[in-house]
Amino acid sequence: MKYYDIIIVGSGPAGCACALSLKGSGLRVLVIDKSTFPRDKVCGDAIPNTVPKALMMLDEKYLTALRAFPEKVNIDSCKVVAPSGKSVTLHFKLEGYASTRLDFDNFMVNLAEQESQAAVITGEGLTDVILSNNHVEVTTDKGNRYTSKLIIGCDGAHSVLNKKLTSTKVDHNHYIGAVRAYYKNVKGLQPNTMEIHLVKGFMPGYFWIFPLTNNTCNTGFGMVSSSISSKKINLRKSLLDIVSNSETIRKRFTDAVALEDPIGYGLPTGSRKVQISGDRFMLAGDAASLIDPATGEGIGNAMISGIKAGQHAIKCFNKNDFSSSFMKQYEDAIHRYFWNDMRNKYLLQRMVGEKAWLADFAIRLAADVPWIKNKLQRLF
């Protein structure tokens, strides 16, 4: 039995940001992850402006390190294409990037190992967690047991802690299914520009092309899970269908080389309030269902929630209070920070739905009316 003050489960962006937020606290922190790094994470690979914001919340030098990180592409624009083919290009004032999760998550793990003062164990997965009146005990697939006073679940959409400690179930109205495939030599890419295509027959959802290094693109398609079920959509087949047959897209892929078959993943969105805390535990990132319901982005939200979990953990030790009522302060803080934006985007998603004509109308207006374009820029 090995003792720590805090155990963080998961060393993705949420877990690493949480560990970094505890630097200098004097607490004994363990970060544990089932994977060894570098490892792939199926994702769109967009690194939005909330990521630099989160790094600045921690330490300016971490943002400096990200700016010097070579395995990324600067993103300053987003081209949004309507079902009719009409498009508008949005320009961002805040910095954002695109980087494979293989590279970015490894960057974050290295940062946590070098800077956080936490013990980081990879290649060891959590199998069980038991809460008692005065401690938390976890068991791993290596047969090891660890105890702590507090545990923070940053272990993703299929969180073991979420399954073990809450009654939250998947709700397909608040869940996105998506597939990703890497392609090389896609034609017509504009410098530093990501693309979102609303394709008739494949809404509510969108097809994306996000540029990466080495003339490679992250190409994918995502859709609300309730629509996937009701329409009996095959996401992998749909992605290939869009690439091969969509009039505005297929010509750009005639010489493209697929580097893999489409790979699927699920995204629990922040468009409903779920339990993310209780006696001696908090959840952050995808484990806390904090995916943006309109864009599918979750990395920045994960990091910010991880930081807030770390900050609240310090309060718990200062007060020697690990009760569910005290943990509720963290949950309330997360909902205050994210809820209005998440709810508004969910309502917008529901309003547009499958209405290709409405998407066309909105994008035509955005192309011609500056204040509407500014509203759309804020969405992305």
Helix, strand and coil content of the chain, in percent to the nearest 5, comes to 40, 25, 35
Average pLDDT on 166-180 reads 96
Spatial separation of the C-alpha atoms in residues 181 and 242, rounded to whole Å: 13
Q: In CATH, what number does 172-267+352-379 get?
A: 3.30.9.10
Spatial separation of the C-alpha atoms in residues 211 and 115, rounded to whole Å: 30
Element of type H or E holding 207: strand 205-211
Spatial separation of the C-alpha atoms in residues 123 and 141, rounded to whole Å: 9
The 10 Å CB-count burial string (b at 16+, else e) for 299-324 is bbbbbbbbbbbbbbbbebbeeeebee
In the chain, what is the greatest distance between 2 CA atoms, to the nearest angstrom? 65
Q: What pLDDT is recorded for position 374?
A: 84
**In this structure, what are the phi and psi dihedrals at residue 164, rounded to the nearest 5 degrees?**
-80, -35
Which is it for the CA torsion 308, 309, 315, 319, positive or negative?
positive
Are 38 and 106 a contacting pair, CB within 8 Å?
yes
Model confidence at 247: pLDDT above 90: no
Here the tokens at position 167 are 């009654």
Q: What pLDDT is recorded for position 353?
A: 85
- Nearest residue to 17 via CA among 334, 311, 306, 297: 306
Q: What pLDDT is recorded for position 372?
A: 84
- Indicate the length of the chain as a whole number: 380
Strand-strand pairing, 257-258 and 175-184:
antiparallel
Q: How confident is the model at residue 138 (pLDDT cuts 50, 70, 90)?
A: very high
Model confidence at 375: pLDDT above 90: no
Q: What pLDDT is recorded for position 272?
A: 96
Which single residue is written with the structure tokens 């990132």? 285
- Nearest residue to 302 via CA among 350, 267, 329: 267
Give the homologous superfamily in CATH for domain 2-73+98-170+270-348.
Answer: FAD/NAD(P)-binding domain (3.50.50.60)
Neighbours of 55 (CB within 10 A): 24
Average pLDDT on 50-79 reads 97
Q: How confident is the model at residue 248 (pLDDT cuts 50, 70, 90)?
A: confident
**pLDDT tens figures, 30-43:** 999 999 999 999 99
- Nearest residue to 231 via CA among 271, 202, 208: 202
Element of type H or E holding 184: strand 175-184
CA dihedral 187, 75, 46, 176 (to 10 degrees): -80
Sketch the domain layout of the chain as residue ranges: 2-73+98-170+270-348, 172-267+352-379
Q: What pLDDT is recorded for position 318?
A: 98
Q: How confident is the model at residue 159 (pLDDT cuts 50, 70, 90)?
A: very high
Model confidence at 377: pLDDT above 90: no
**In this structure, what are the phi and psi dihedrals at residue 368, rounded to the nearest 5 degrees?**
-110, -20
User: Pick the residue with more confidence: 348 or 216?
Assistant: 216
Q: What pLDDT is recorded for position 157?
A: 95
Here the tokens at position 278 are 């209780």
Strand partners, 7: 30, 151
Task: Tell me the pLDDT of the chain averaged across its residues.
Answer: 95
Strand partners, 194: 78
Here the tokens at position 81 are 């294409």
Here the tokens at position 314 are 């310090």
Query: What is the distance of C-alpha 368 from the center of its chain?
Result: 32
Are 363 and 90 a contacting pair, CB within 8 Å?
no
User: Pick the residue with more confidence: 348 or 323?
Assistant: 323
Model confidence at 50: pLDDT above 90: yes
